[in-house]
Amino acid sequence: MSTLYAEAAGVLEGLFRHSGGLKSLTYADKIKSKRNCFALVCQTLRYKPLLDQLVAAVPELSKVVKKTAPKKDAPKKDTGNKPSSLQMALYYIAIYDLMFGKDKKIQGGGFVKKTVLSHHNALKQALVRLKVKAKVATDEELLPEENRMSESQRLPRYARINTLKVTEPIHDVAAVRAALRLPDDVSFELDAHVRDLIVFPPGTELHTHESVVSGRLILQDKASCFSAFVLQGERGSDDLGDVIDACAAPGNKTSHAAMLVARKTSTRPIKVFAFDRSATRLDLLKRRMKGAGADGVVEACLQSFLDVDVHDPKYAHVTSILLDPSCSGSGMSNRLDHLLELASMKQGFEDEYEASDASDVQARLQSLADFQLEALRKAFSFPHVQRVAYSTCSIFEKENEEVVVAALRASEAAQTPFHLVKALPTWPRRGVVIPGLSHDQADCLVRANGLEDGTNGFFVAYFERSGAKRKREKTEAQKERKKRKRKACQERKTAGNQPQ
Vertex 387: Cα angle to 386 and 392 (nearest 5) = 150
75 is in an annotated binding site: no
Which of 42, 225, 327, 393 is catalytic? The answer is: 393
Collapse the DSSP code of 217 into the 3-class scheme (helix H, G, I; strand E, B; otherwise coil) and give the result.
Answer: strand
251 is in an annotated binding site: yes
245 and 273 Cβ atoms separated by less than 8 Å: yes
Q: What is the DSSP string of 323-376?
A: E------TT-TT-STHHHHHHTSSSSSSHHHHT--HHHHHHHHHHHHHHHHHHH
189 and 199 Cβ atoms separated by less than 8 Å: yes
Q: What is the DSSP string of 281-311?
A: HHHHHHHHHHHHT-TTTEEEEES-GGG--TT
81 is in an annotated binding site: no
Give the whole-angstrom CA distance, residue 336 versus residue 495.
Answer: 62
Give the whole-angstrom CA distance, residue 416 versus residue 385.
Answer: 11
324 is in an annotated binding site: yes
331 and 394 Cβ atoms separated by less than 8 Å: yes
Catalytic, 393? Answer: yes
183 is in an annotated binding site: no
248 is in an annotated binding site: yes
Collapse the DSSP code of 242 into the 3-class scheme (helix H, G, I; strand E, B; otherwise coil) and give the result.
Answer: strand
Burial (CB < 10 A; 0-12, 13-18, 19+), residue 169, is exposed
276 is in an annotated binding site: yes
Which one, of 266, 219, 245, lies nearest residue 320 by Cα? 245
Give the whole-angstrom CA distance, residue 191 versus residue 448.
Answer: 15
Give the whole-angstrom CA distance, residue 320 versus residue 389.
Answer: 8
- Contacts of 438 by beta carbon, 8 Å cutoff, 6+ apart: none
Question: How far does CA 339 lie from the centroid of its chain?
Answer: 14
239 and 321 Cβ atoms separated by less than 8 Å: no
159-165-168-171 Cα dihedral, nearest 10 degrees: 30
Active site residues: 393
Binding-site members are 247-253, 276, 324
Binding-site members for S-adenosyl-L-methionine are 247-253, 276, 324
